[in-house]
Amino acid sequence: MESSISMTSDNLIEVSDLNFSYDTRAILKGIDMTMRRGQVIAVMGGSGSGKTTLLRLISGEIRPTSGYVKFAGEIVHELDRDALFKLRRKMGMLFQFGALFTDLSVFDNVAFQMREHTNLPESMIRDLVLMKLQAVGLRGAHRLMPNELSGGMARRVALARSIALDPMLVMYDEPFTGLDPISLSVIGNLIRRLTDSLGMTSIVVTHNVEESLKIVDYVYFIADGVIAAEGTPQEVRESVAPFVHQFIHGEEDGPVPFHYPTQAYRQDLNLEDSVA
Amino acid sequence: MPKRIVSGIQSIGHRVIESIWRLGLASRFFILVLLKSGTSLRRFNLVIRELYFTGVLSLIIIVVSGLFVGMVLGLQGYETLQKYGSESAVGTLVALSLVRELGPVVAALLFASRAGSAITAEIGLMKATEQLAAMGMMAVDPIARVVAPRFWAGVISMPFLAAMFSVMGVFGGYLVTVVFIGVDEGSYWSQMQSAVDFRFDILNGFIKSCFFGVAVTAIAVFEGYDAPPTAEGVSGATTRTVVTSSLVILGLDFILTAFMFRGVS
């Protein structure tokens, strides 16, 4: 296993024995993770495995049942509301379909946080917004409204918006969903390039094995609320662990069964007697 | 049979508990909106933008409806009063009906269907498309930034819309009775002027419309914020806004009228 991730001084996020339940239904069970500054980390797993819940716990939107998430040395769930909002200014989040404000133009969407949290003059905000849009290749689209954008463009604008205040961490919730191959590659490359050039950390929650293994430094697999496997993309590709193998190669049956658990097929078809 | 009765009673109990729980939730939400109104007052341009959407864009329906209601009042009033030779009092009837009751109540009902439903749908859709969550992630409180400006815009708009409704109604009554039927213009205005009291009629009508404005907008923002983030959820919330607002307006109108006009001749 990659030993470099154990260097605690470089860790931006530490997740320790994290448990989370909705009522009595356990979603995450004793998760431990460390995420280093400057890395792109993928969190993979099937639908309903608790990936998005993990992001919500990191951002402090929900509180863990036990355990903790430590961000930049601070335990997230122990912060009061003001301190949490202060912490969130160091975080960015790209939602699955962008979540752009539909009543604001592309320019105003990217300028939103700057206007809310800073007293910068409008001329400086204009320059900063155009720089952020230039980074995602959409400077020319700054006057458009969100309903005039394609899915890929909307996500690029949302990416520009999430890096508006140069955050330490950007979280991406399924950033590749529903994109054509070109847009998919553009978003993937942007995540890598922006992470490197801005010196931030990125957490990519995704199902997309091909695209994410190209750009990430480290991968966590979550299944049934626990970390089923972890490693570098190379280690993951070579892994013989049944779950990882099934996930990476998209196999129909394996540790994640094709059939929903039920009684024996023969029994359901009343064939027991005739066979006997 | 007893099992069915028990389950029926249980279901009623569930509904009652759920309604009370929801009422409590709405009250807490309302208090939260008031506590987080600082941003709206400091950055009043946020409220002005919403005033356009809730107030200015509701003007057409208010003006047209006010005109027609006034015209009908004029016709009906003239028809009845002329039997007693009091057709000159038609101005009084039109004005008092509008200023005391129809202005605030009908304007509020129209406001609930036009602006209240729009507020609910907008906030509900913002929630369904994760815009409110995105705002929270950007360390911007959606209640302060999205809900409170819409609430205050509705509260401010409502009295003006009710006043506009009454003015247009009085004008509609004038058109029908004076211009078309031929009632004496001097009687129409002078009887109205002497009968309408500023304190008891105009001020009370204004107070009513303020109450309706708070009620309708509070219901609209709560339903939008509380809507399940699905197409069905938003449509259900929009319907609830119109139905609940209408019932609250009519109920509140009775209570306010009982307090305001008890013993006033």
**pLDDT tens digits along A52-79:** 888 889 988 889 999 999 988 889 989 8
For residue A276, pLDDT over 70 is answered with: no
How confident is the model over B59-78, as pLDDT tens digits?
Answer: 999 999 999 999 999 999 99
Percent of chain B's residues with pLDDT above 70: 98
Q: In what order do the strands lie in the sheet with A201-206?
A: A91-94, A169-173, A201-206, A40-44, A218-223, A226-231
Q: Which residues of A touch B (CB under 8 A)?
A: 59, 61, 85-86, 88-89, 91-93, 95-97, 99-102, 112-113, 116-117
Q: Strands of A66-71's sheet, edge to edge?
A: A25-36, A11-22, A66-71, A74-75
- What are the CB-based long-range contacts (under 8 Å, 24+) for A16-21? A16/A67, A16/A68, A16/A70, A17/A66, A17/A67, A17/A68, A18/A54, A18/A57, A18/A64, A18/A66, A18/A67, A18/A68, A18/A69, A19/A64, A19/A65, A19/A66, A19/A67, A20/A50, A20/A53, A20/A57, A20/A62, A20/A64, A20/A65, A21/A65
Partners of residue A91 in chain B, C-beta under 8 Å: 137
Q: Do A116 and B140 touch (CB under 8 A)?
A: yes
- Does residue B163 carry a pLDDT above 70? yes
* pLDDT band per the 50, 70, 90 thresholds, residue B34: very high
A100 contacts B145? CB cut-off 8 A:
no
The pLDDT assigned to A214 comes to: 86
At residue A89, what is the residue type? R
- The whole-number pLDDT of residue A6 equals 43
pLDDT on residue A272: 67
Q: What is the pLDDT of residue A96?
A: 83
pLDDT one-digit tens code per residue, A115-173: 988 889 999 999 999 998 998 888 988 899 999 998 888 988 998 998 888 899 999 98
**Cβ–Cβ gap B139/A93 under 8 Å:** no
Which residue in A88, A155, A163 has the most chain B C-beta atoms within 10 A of its own C-beta, making it the best mutation to test that interface? A88
| Chain A touched by B140 (CB under 8 Å) | yes
B128 → chain A, closest CA residue: A99
In the prediction, which pLDDT does A274 show? 56
Q: Which of B130, B137, B145 sits opposite A88 (nearest CB)?
A: B137
Q: Name residue A75's beta-bridge partners.
A: A70
Amino acid A2: pLDDT: 42
Q: Is B137 on the interface with A (CB under 8 A)?
A: yes
What average pLDDT does range B173-196 have in this prediction?
A: 91
Better-predicted residue by pLDDT, B262 or B221: B221
How many other C-beta atoms can be found within 10 angstroms of the C-beta atom of residue B177?
29
Instruction: Give the ipTM.
Output: 0.78
Q: What is the pTM of this model?
A: 0.83
Residues of B within 8 A of A113 (CB-CB) are 138-140
| Closest CA–CA distance from residue B208 to any residue of chain A (Å) | 33
Q: With contacts defined as CB-CB under 8 Å, which chain A residues touch B129?
A: 97, 99, 102
Q: Considering only alpha carbons, which residue of chain B is nearest residue A104?
A: B131
**Closest of A92, A73, A56, A69 to residue A167, by C-alpha:** A92
In this predicted structure, what is the pLDDT of residue A9? 56
Q: How far apart are the CA of B132 and the nearest CA of chain A, in angstroms?
A: 9
Contact B133/A at CB under 8 A: yes
Q: What integer is the mean pLDDT of B110-139?
A: 93
CA distance B158 to chain A (A): 24
pLDDT tens digits along A37-49: 889 999 988 777 7
Confidence bin at B251 (pLDDT 50/70/90): very high
Nearest to B130 among A85, A95, A116 (CB): A95
- Distances from the Cα of A108 to the Cα of A92, A115, B86, B246, angstroms: 17, 9, 62, 37
Q: How confident is the model at residue B263 (pLDDT cuts 50, 70, 90)?
A: low
Confidence category of residue B142, pLDDT binned at 50, 70, 90: very high
The residue-averaged pLDDT of A258-264 equals 74
Chain B CB contacts of A112 below 8 Å: 138, 140
Is B49 within 8 Å of chain A by CB? no
Check residues A24 and B158 and name the one with the higher pLDDT. Answer: B158
**Which residues in chain A are closer than 8 Å to B126, comparing Cβ atoms?**
101-102
Q: Which residues contact A36 (CB under 8 A, 6 or more apart)?
A: A4, A5, A7, A10, A11, A12, A201, A217, A218
Average pLDDT over residues B126-148: 91
Closest CB to A95: pick one of B126, B134, B145. B134
Q: How far away is chain B from the Cα of A82, in angstroms, using its nearest Cα?
A: 9
Q: Check residue A218 and give left, alpha or beta (phi > 0: left; psi -120 to 50: alpha).
A: beta
> Domains along chain A?
4-239 (3.40.50.300)
Of B130, B140, B145, the CB nearest to A99: B130
Half-sphere exposure of A116 (CA within 13 A, CB side): 26
Question: Whose CA is closest to A136, among A92, A191, A214?
Answer: A191
* Of residues A95, A152, A179, the one with CA closest to residue B129: A95
State whether residue B160 is helix, strand or coil. helix
What is the predicted pLDDT for the residue at A273? Answer: 62
Q: Copy the structure tokens of residue B212.
A: 């309706």
Q: Write out chain B residues lying below 8 Å of A90, CB-based.
A: none
pLDDT of A239 over the 80 cut:
no
Is the pLDDT score of A257 beyond 70? no
Interface test with A, best of B32, B45, B137 (most A CBs within 10 A): B137
Tokens representing A51 are: 């990936």
Return the minimum-mean-pLDDT range out of A256-265, B95-104, B150-159. Answer: A256-265
Smallest CA–CA distance from A90 into chain B, residue:
B138
